[in-house]
Amino acid sequence: MSFRQARHEEPLTFEMAYCEVGESMPVPDGLLPANLVRKDVPCIPKLSEREMVRHFTALSQMNYGVDSGFYPLGSCTMKYGPKINEELASLPKAADIHPLQPEETVQGTLQILYELQNMLATITGMDAVSLQPAAGAQGEFTGLLIARAFHEKNGEERTEVVLPDTSHGTNPASAVMAGFNVVTIPSKDGRVDLDALSAAVSEKTAAFMLTNPNTLGIFESQVLEIAKIMHDAGALLYYDGANVNAIMGKTTPGKMEFDIVHLNLHKTFSTPHGGGGPGSGPVCVKERFAGFLPVPVVAKKGEGYSLNYDIPDSIGKVHGFYGNWGVMLRAYAYILMNGRDGLTEAAERAVLNSNYLKKLVERFLVVPYSGLRKHEFVASGSSLKEKGVRTMDVAKRLIDYGFHPPTVYFPLLIEEALMIEPTETEVKYTLDKFAEALASIVKESPEILHNAPQNASVKRVNETEAAKKLILTYRDYLEDIE
């Protein structure tokens, strides 16, 4: 156990410098009407460049990314991202292009977007693509607005979205934002219960949202039967693409008869997660939904490319401009570099890593449901409860061993869940070390586990106090200490 995270007593910028006062910096007379003038200067302290860089460098040292070490956060696909992508995205010809420049001055960008649309159509087995949604959840929202518009055009009022109890939290939240009621069905043996699905589906059902492989990492082998149930009922099958990393080159949502798909470029296509974002959540659809996609879609026009706003039944826009171009460019470079074989091998290695790690973990923790996994698996910490240890304690102790903890307490149907997604960019050595750490942890005393972590920048953080006190700004903090 050699991990030690930096532990700086780093102040807030507000504690490092003083704010300037307004009277010293008047707004020139006549520049603004008197009733619009801000009297005080905003109280934001100014640091020198050296102080600023040192401050944020110190903070970065108290943070942990994929470049720091193993980050098996389930359903988030924390794979290593090639550095070339960062350099390309920061080129002036990529970053300094204004979204409202005339088309003839952004032909390079439009060509890349056009080619990326086609690549994603191939990878998903769908016919048409919108790159506009800025994140996976926005892709879901967009996809469901398309489903809604499609049914409305057919003169049908379908008010419900059905989803399994293993679905990502964004699924029901997106369904509600798109105006649907949510019907959740229980799983059976870790897969969709076809009887429960049939019972839940009616003439009110707009769509069934499914991720395949599901959040347990189990492939829904009966997917064509699911598709038949939905399509016979006049409903659509929606694919949550969070887990596409497991299937590239093996199957496609299109082949599985899904109607609408969203992808997460920041997961499957390696663009960095940025501490929470930016991401990108393109929506890919079958031909019969192409007329509902958000505008604009990039089209080929003679030798050049254009932004096509002429989409008859388009739902309109979901982003002020065209989505997160900087993320799309990185994903484009990643797909080019990997090519068909590289992407297939990525899926293979991701699945091999996951099954191998599962095999190791099964020696000391229960992994409910037998059989193959795809890119991730979910272990249960329930056996530790009798000695008073919770999954959260295990997660915190993993930090001491230098690993980012897995996703915990999700999916909800696994008690004390630890959702582990190793991704393809890890080697066997790392997986072995992680399993060894976990094996030691489950044998450690409750006292050690309750007091973990010891080697991070701070000890266990009191989240209850945070919710109670609600210190959300420096000003709140000053009021609190008074």
Partner 1 sequence: MLNDKDVKEMLAALDIDSVERLFDDIPESVRANLDGLQEGMSELQVRRHVESILAKNRDPRDTASFLGAGAYDFYVPAAVRAVMSRSEFLTSYTPYQSELSQGLLHALFEYQSMMAELTSMEVVNNSIYDYATALGEAILMAARLTKGTVFLIPEAMSRSKLSVIENYCRGAGIQLRRYKFDRTSGCADLESMKNQITDEIIGAYVETPNLFGVLETQLDDIRGLLDSKIFVAGVNALSLGIVRPPGDYDADIVITEGQIFGNPVNFGGPHLGVLACKKKFVRKMPGRVIGMTTDADGNRAFCMTLMTREQHIRREKATSNICTNEALTAIATASYLALTGGGDLRKLAISIAEKSRRLAKRLDELSGCKAPMFDGAHFSEFVVTLPKDASSIASQMLEKGVIPGVPLSHLIKGMENELLISVTDKTTLDDADSLVLTLQEVIQ
Residues numbered 143 to 202 that lie near partner 1 (CB under 8 A) are 145, 148, 168-170, 172-180, 182
**Residue 72 C-beta-side C-alpha neighbours within 13 Å:** 32
Give me the least distance between CB of 227 and partner 1, in Å please: 10
Eight-state DSSP code of residue 263: E
Give me the least distance between CB of 457 and partner 1, in Å please: 4
Cβ distance to partner 1 smaller for residue 233 or 396: 396
The residue range among 202-210, 232-240, 377-385, 469-477 that interacts with partner 1, by the rule CB under 8 A, is 469-477
1 binds partner 1 (CB under 8 A): no
Phi/psi-derived region of residue 323, left when phi > 0, alpha when psi is between -120 and 50, beta in every other case:
left
Residues β-bridged to residue 185: 164
205 binds partner 1 (CB under 8 A): no
Within residues 276-305, the interface with partner 1 by CB under 8 A covers 276-279, 281, 295
Taking every pair of Cα atoms in the chain, the longest distance, rounded to a whole number of angstroms, is 76
Within residues 348-377, the interface with partner 1 by CB under 8 A covers 348-349, 351-353, 355-356, 359-360, 371-372
* CA–CA distance, 44 with 31 (Å, rounded to integer): 23
407 binds partner 1 (CB under 8 A): yes
Give me the least distance between CB of 422 and partner 1, in Å please: 11
**DSSP one-letter string for 57-83:** HHHHHT---TTTS---BTTS------H
Within residues 125-144, the interface with partner 1 by CB under 8 A covers 125, 134-138, 140-141
* Structure token digits, residue 360: 């190791």
- The helix or strand, by DSSP H or E, that contains position 240, with its residue range, turns out to be strand 236-241
Residue 183: burial class (beta carbons within 10 Å; 0-12, 13-18, 19+):
middle
Query: Residues 6 or more apart from 393 whose CB is under 8 A from it?
Result: 384, 446, 449, 450, 452
The residue range among 200-208, 328-336, 415-423, 438-446 that interacts with partner 1, by the rule CB under 8 A, is 328-336
Query: Residues 6 or more apart from 111 whose CB is under 8 A from it?
Result: 305
Give me the least distance between CB of 300 and partner 1, in Å please: 14
Give me the least distance between CB of 428 and partner 1, in Å please: 4
Assess contact for 374 and 362: CB atoms under 8 A.
Answer: no
306 binds partner 1 (CB under 8 A): no
Within residues 86-115, the interface with partner 1 by CB under 8 A covers 86-88, 90-102, 104-109, 111-112
Query: Residues 6 or more apart from 13 whose CB is under 8 A from it?
Result: 44, 45, 47, 55
Within residues 210-239, the interface with partner 1 by CB under 8 A covers 218-219, 221, 223-224
Eight-state DSSP code of residue 407: E
53 binds partner 1 (CB under 8 A): yes
| 378-397 footprint of partner 1 as x/- string (CB under 8 A) | -----------------xx-
* Structure token digits, residue 148: 């809604």
The residue range among 196-204, 284-292, 377-385, 466-474 that interacts with partner 1, by the rule CB under 8 A, is 466-474
Cβ distance to partner 1 smaller for residue 280 or 290: 280
337 binds partner 1 (CB under 8 A): yes
From 319, 369, 415, 444, residue interacting with partner 1 (rule: CB under 8 A)? 319
| 252-271 footprint of partner 1 as x/- string (CB under 8 A) | x-xxx-------x-x-----
> Which residue in this structure is represented by tokens 């997986």?
431
The amino acid that residue 287 corresponds to is E
From 155, 303, 427, 482, residue interacting with partner 1 (rule: CB under 8 A)? 427
* Structure token digits, residue 61: 């040292």
Residues β-bridged to residue 239: 210, 261
Residue of 145, 92, 71 whose CA lies nearest to 422: 71
Residues β-bridged to residue 181: 160
Give me the least distance between CB of 135 and partner 1, in Å please: 4
The residue range among 62-70, 285-293, 361-369, 439-447 that interacts with partner 1, by the rule CB under 8 A, is 62-70
| 8-47 footprint of partner 1 as x/- string (CB under 8 A) | --x-xxx--x-xx----x-xx--xxx-xxxx--xxxxxxx
| Total site size for partner 1, rule CB under 8 A | 196
